[in-house]
Structure 1
Amino acid sequence: MSDPESVRTPAAGLADEDVSLLVNNAGVAGPVKPLVGIEPGEWDDVFAANVRGVCLMCRAFLPPMIAAGRGDVVNVASVSGKRPLLNRTPCTASKMALLGLTRTLAGEVGPRGVAVNSLSPGPVRGPRMDRNSRLTAELTGCTVQEAERDFASRAALGRLVEGTEVARALVAMLGMPGLCGADIDRQRE
């Protein structure tokens, strides 16, 4: 979604629809290695997907919501945007940027009737987490299971969350009138 033309196509296809909800949930995990080993292109790829893509989607879908005086935007961020995640600098920095984008955009369009919030889940079970655990294990010399346990130990629930739990949290956020500029997360401090 980091290509403007790729974003214009779905926006144009929905031009005659009453779109009042935008969930930005696309993103990439990026490299798992120290910053000094990250190539500029790898950094750019992460920011293109995790930040630029959200920006482009909002630019495409916000104008009709603003014109209607109502709508919701939920940006799926990550708790890694709130605390260090070693060997994951591009992902962490991009999620921090996404939180800033969310809060700033909420101030811009909230008074015009469009709520903008973010949801920052902890580690979510699935192929992406499997990849991150495997790459972390390769980098640090621990086992994949140890890497997964380490990720889970930082989550408020002490475990990986399921995708369905993230979806239910997102739906719950949409049922909170007046919520704008907020980030909902579950993490251990």
Structure 2
Amino acid sequence: MNRIDLSGRRAVITGGARGIGLATAERMIASGAAVTLWDVDAAAIDEALARLGAKASGQIVELTDETSVDTAAAAALAAGAVDILVNNAGITGGNGKTWELDPAIWRKTLEVNLVGPYLTARALVPSMIAAGYGRIVNVASIAGKEGNPNASHYSASKAGLIGLTKSLGKELAGAGVLVNCITPAAARTAIFDQMSQEHIDYMLSKIPLARFVEPSEVAAMIAWLSSEDCSFSTGAVFDISGGRAVY
């Protein structure tokens, strides 16, 4: 594993207790960073912290609630500057035709996948501006580029996250804070439990490399985008879809 230099940096990773978030925490710690995991699952946080060791901490955060996010941000900043924000937490909301999806599920998916990253940015960006440095990486999805059938709520939320990335990146250009997003193909994590097998098979059929992405592969891209080596990209979309999207 190549070592990406994150020495002395502190990162907040949402949805950090499992899957891509946990893999990102592991990669960042190996690269010299300290990480704080924001997750709604207390037991998963405890399990992750036991695995990650002394350079990791965790907070229970409801990402759709601005009070919860603001409280967590204040606690994180009390321990020192937050240099990196990884908006990884997300839900699929299950599968179904647009007109058959429950409106409550549609709204919940957008709240977690799009409003959550807005709230975390709102809470942490001012401190990054004051420090003159920051890296924000939003974990979108290939679905946000292409619009998966039977997943309009998820696709729309990730397309919105791509749009948020572009706007925020331009707003922060010149402030020393770079904002980028990635659009991975599916990784076989616990989020698969929220999908039908038919939808999982559909996603795999669209990937020319004929496999799902590994969380560690996504983590490597996130780590680079979180580093000083990423110095001239902001508001950009980085593909990691196994050849499914070549734009």
Unaligned runs of 5+ in 1: 138-146
Native 8 Å contact 1:123 1:155 kept in 2:
no
Native 8 Å contact 2:182 2:239 kept in 1:
yes
Deviation at 1:186, TM superposition (A): 2.8
1:123 aligned residue: 186
For 1:74 and 1:88, how far apart are their aligned partners in 2? 23
Find the residue that maps to 1:73 and give its secondary structure.
Answer: strand
1:142 aligned residue: none
Deviation at 1:172, TM superposition (A): 2.2
Cα gap change, 1:54 to 1:152, in 2 (>3 Å)? same
> In the alignment, does 2:237 pair up with 1:183?
yes
Deviation at 1:129, TM superposition (A): 2.3
Native 8 Å contact 1:155 1:186 kept in 2:
no
Native 8 Å contact 1:79 1:121 kept in 2:
yes
For 1:170 and 1:80, how far apart are their aligned partners in 2? 18
Cα gap change, 1:98 to 1:156, in 2 (>3 Å)? farther
Whose helix proportion is higher, 1 or 2? 1
Q: 1:27-38 maps to which residues of 2 (within 5 A)?
A: 27-38=90-101
Whose strand proportion is higher, 1 or 2? 2
**Corresponding letter in the other structure for 2:221:** A
Q: TM-score by structure 2 length?
A: 0.68
**Corresponding letter in the other structure for 1:185:** D
Deviation at 1:5, TM superposition (A): 1.3
> In the alignment, does 2:217 pair up with 1:165?
yes
2:116 to 38, 46, 53: 53
Per-residue CA distance 1:100-150 (angstroms, 9 max, x = gap): 000000000122110000011101112212442xx253xxxxxxxxx5343
Q: How many residues align?
A: 178
Question: Percent identity, aligned pairs only?
Answer: 36
Deviation at 1:11, TM superposition (A): 0.6
Q: 1:35-46 maps to which residues of 2 (within 5 A)?
A: 35-46=98-109
Unaligned runs of 5+ in 2: 1-62
2:69 aligned residue: 7
Q: Larger deviation: 148-157 or 93-102?
A: 148-157
Native 8 Å contact 2:69 2:119 kept in 1:
yes
Deviation at 1:45, TM superposition (A): 0.2
RMSD over aligned CA atoms reads 1.5
**Corresponding letter in the other structure for 1:7:** V
Deviation at 1:157, TM superposition (A): 2.4
Cα gap change, 1:29 to 1:15, in 2 (>3 Å)? same
Native 8 Å contact 2:93 2:194 kept in 1:
no
Q: TM-score by structure 1 length?
A: 0.88
Cα gap change, 1:148 to 1:51, in 2 (>3 Å)? closer
Superposition misfits of 4+ residues, deviation over 4 angstroms: none
> In the alignment, does 2:158 pair up with 1:87?
no
**Corresponding letter in the other structure for 1:61:** L
